[in-house]
Chains A and B, each alone.
Chain A
Amino acid sequence: MGINVTKDSSSNVVTIVIAGRFDFSMNSDFRKILSDPDSSGGSYNIDMGGVEDIDSSALGMLLLLREKAGGDSANIKITRCRPDIVEMLKMANFQTMFNIA
């Protein structure tokens, strides 16, 4: 449960593993990622294999991360999502803003 962040300093890729219910309760953990000055401009790999459900605040947090990572030039990969969660991301038009695999 919660967020686990690992950083590969050589390739400057931040891997974020999220598990459980991805909602507002994770906002302080997410804040830490957002306020980390080292990671700005880098690449993110968000592993959502353990995510059971998401709500709109999760989508908001992902958008904030995208803003921090450079907006349209951001390189954020969202992986291992469950089909219903992929559906939700697509409904919010996330497939144009994130690399959903």
Chain B
Amino acid sequence: MEAVKKLIRYFRPYILPCLYTLIILGLWFYEYFTFMALSAVALIWLSDIYQRYKSPKAAVLDKSNDKDELLSSVKTQNNSYQDVTSSILDENVSISAEVERLSNMVNEATTELAESFSLMNSYAAEQKSLVGAMLGSKTTSDGDSASINDFIQDTEGMMNYFIETIVNTSKESVRLVYKLDDLSERIVSIEVLLKDLKFISDQTNLLALNASIEAARAGEHGRGFAVVADEVRNLSMSSANFSNQIHDVVAEAVSGISDARSVIDAIASRDMRFVIDAKTKNTEISNVICKLQKQADINMAEISTIADNIDESVGVAVRSLQFGDIVTQLAGHVAERSNNIAHVSGEIAEAISVSSISEDESTMVQALSNVTNACDRGVELISNIKGSPVEQEKMDSGEIDLF
């Protein structure tokens, strides 16, 4: 079947010449010479067709410039291979440089980030300790809140002491007034006694008067008695005089006591309303301060919690910065792969360059086989370095779970 198909394919372009032959045969009936000439042309044509059918390859190889063309095309291809290889090598150099830049940048960035996070951590710790100091100040009685509490208590204590003192002073003043009243009464009783004394001296005076009358009546015999009677009368008058003096002193004493009483009255009578106002204000201020302090305590506790959260977050961030190591490893791996590609393309380029030098067929076949071998080795080399270093890292240390 194949042969038949081949035949059909070959003879398809010759259908027209066959028709032409048939026309010639028709013409043969009319003109013999023309028939002969055209028949010769037809025979040459048919022999050519036969030759083509018999060995088509030989027909191609017969062309003397075919080999040269092939060689030149191989050389052209070799040149383009070498161009590609040198591009790959250049590209590899660029990739290596860029990978290095990448890993340097990542390293710098992670170092700076680690530093800034560790600073943040220390600030958070400082803030926390400050807040802790403020919260603990109540127990250590070292902070403002404690002194405010003390101040409030001191003020209240002082106020109470002040009130107690005023009330006690008033109590003792009233008691003193009662004592003064008693004293006044006693002094007034002296007045009564003085009246008795005055009565006695008046009586004595009267008696002395009677005695001098009786002495005058007795005449010369009563002269001595009259002198005595006069003396007694003088004494009674002195006594009355003395009694008057005492009366004056007592009156002065009573007046003095009265003055003292009014002074004590002023001491004892203190208006208590201003103390109430002061105490009420003090209580109000204390309440406000207590409220503020409670709020401050709550806020400080919240600040402390926030500081803890910051601490924790910063810790997580610092741990996360280990991604820098992994990126560096990945970059190294990329550079290695790029180097392998360059190495393989270099080997292939070398093998090709040998083939391009030689004109000998067997050497070229050997060179082509070298190229194939170089390609196989390249494929093997590249397939050997497959697999991510990060996965290996992960197996080695379980710490880097974030990637």
Contacts and interface: CB of A to CB of B under 8 A. Distances in A.
Interface of A: 23-24, 27-28, 30-31, 34, 54-57, 59-61, 63-64, 84, 87-88, 91-93
8 closest Cβ pairs, A-B complex: A60-B170, A60-B171, A56-B270, A57-B268, A56-B170, A63-B171, A60-B174, A24-B269
B271 interface: yes
Contacts of B336: none
B258 to A, nearest CB: 13
A92 B100 CA distance: 87
Interface string B257-273: 00000000100111111
B272 A92 contact: yes
A56 B175 contact: no
Given A55-B270, A61-B171, A64-B171, 13 more contacts: A34-B178, A55-B271, A55-B272, A56-B170, A56-B271, A57-B173, A60-B174, A91-B272, A91-B275, A91-B276, A92-B164, A93-B163, A93-B164
Given A64-B174, A64-B175, A56 B160 contact: no
A92 B171 contact: no
Contacts of B270: 55-57
A61 B171 CA distance: 6
A56 B269 contact: yes
Interface hub of A27, A57, A63, A84 (most chain B Cβ within 10 A): A57
Interface hub of A31, A61, A92 (most chain B Cβ within 10 A): A92
Contacts of A56: 166-167, 169-170, 268-272
28 contacts: A23-B269, A24-B174, A30-B174, A31-B178, A55-B170, A55-B272, A56-B166, A56-B268, A56-B271, A57-B174, A57-B265, A59-B167, A60-B171, A60-B172, A60-B173, A60-B175, A63-B167, A63-B171, A64-B175, A84-B276, A87-B276, A91-B275, A91-B276, A91-B279, A92-B163, A92-B164, A92-B167, A92-B272
Given A63-B171, A64-B174, A57 B272 contact: no
B177 interface: yes
Contacts of B273: 88
Q: At the interface, is chain B mostly helix, strand, loop or mixed?
A: helix
B308 interface: no
B265 A31 contact: no
B230 interface: no
B272 A88 contact: yes
B181 interface: yes
Nearest to A35: B178
Interface residues of B, number: 26
B164 A59 contact: no
B174 A61 contact: yes
A61 B226 CA distance: 64
A55 B269 contact: yes
Contacts of B265: 24, 57
A60 B163 CA distance: 12
A56 B174 CA distance: 10
A59 B272 contact: yes
Contact of B272 (A31, A54, A64, A93): A54
A91 B160 CA distance: 8
B284 to A, nearest CB: 14
Interface string B148-188: 00000000000010011011111111110110010000000
Contacts of A31: 178, 181
Nearest to A59: B167
A101 B401 CA distance: 76
Contacts of B163: 91-93
Contacts of A55: 170, 269-272
Contacts of B160: 93
A20 B399 CA distance: 89
Contact of A59 (B171, B175, B178): B171
Interface hub of B173, B174, B175, B270 (most chain A Cβ within 10 A): B174
Interface hub of B160, B167, B273, B279 (most chain A Cβ within 10 A): B167
Nearest to A57: B268
A13 B295 CA distance: 53
Nearest to A58: B170
